[in-house]
Amino acid sequence: MGLFSKEIKTMEDLYLHALQDIYYAEQQILRSLDEMIEKATNRELTKAFKAHKAHTENQIDRLGQAFELLGEKPKGTSCPAIDGLLKEAKSVASDISDKALLDAALIAAAQAVEHYEITRYGTLITWSRQIGSGAVAKLLQITLKEEKAADKRLSELAQAKVNAKAAK
């Protein structure tokens, strides 16, 4: 048994645990997006972070609906993976004073988070279809699309502007 969670015995337990894990993760991400918005200098990057913050708020609501559809109370469970990614992002950012370089680092850190979310939602959608509910799968598909779009937008920003400026 894990340190923070109850024993997982069935696929249903595992599924619920994964939902609780991403519910917690999204809330931590929402908080850290505030910091990223504050630290980013490039206007397009600030805009992208702000847009994704609004998406993240909707994603948390969607997860609440998913719990409801499954007859469960919305609840988070500690997720050491996201804690680690966000902790690293924070500590790297605090080591950088050059603004352009900081933008590049923020994008790299944010993309690590997006990829984490993409893998989690991918699994959750498959599990929803198999053992959860098709309606939950549909809801989470919307979120997955947003995460992929956010990742793509960050790649474009890095490639078009931010990296070149940081490398000067």
Binding site for Fe ion (CB under 5 A): 26, 56, 59, 114, 117, 147
At its nearest, how many Å lie between Fe ion and the CB of residue 117? 5
Q: Closest CB to Fe ion among 111 and 165?
A: 111
Nearest distance, CB of residue 89 and Fe ion, angstroms: 13
Q: Output the smallest distance, CB 122 to Fe ion, in A.
A: 13
Residue type, 63: L
Nearer to Fe ion, 103 or 114 (CB): 114
Using alpha carbons, list the distances in angstroms from residue 115 to 14, 103, 133, 142, 164: 21, 18, 24, 16, 23
Query: Of the two residues 99 and 145, which places its CB atom closer to Fe ion in the complex?
Result: 145
CA pseudo-torsion sign 90, 22, 61, 148 = positive
What does the alpha-carbon distance between residue 81 and residue 102 come to, in Å, rounded to a whole number?
23
d(CA 54, CA 30): 9
Identify which of residues 16 and 60 has a Cβ nearer to Fe ion in the complex: 60
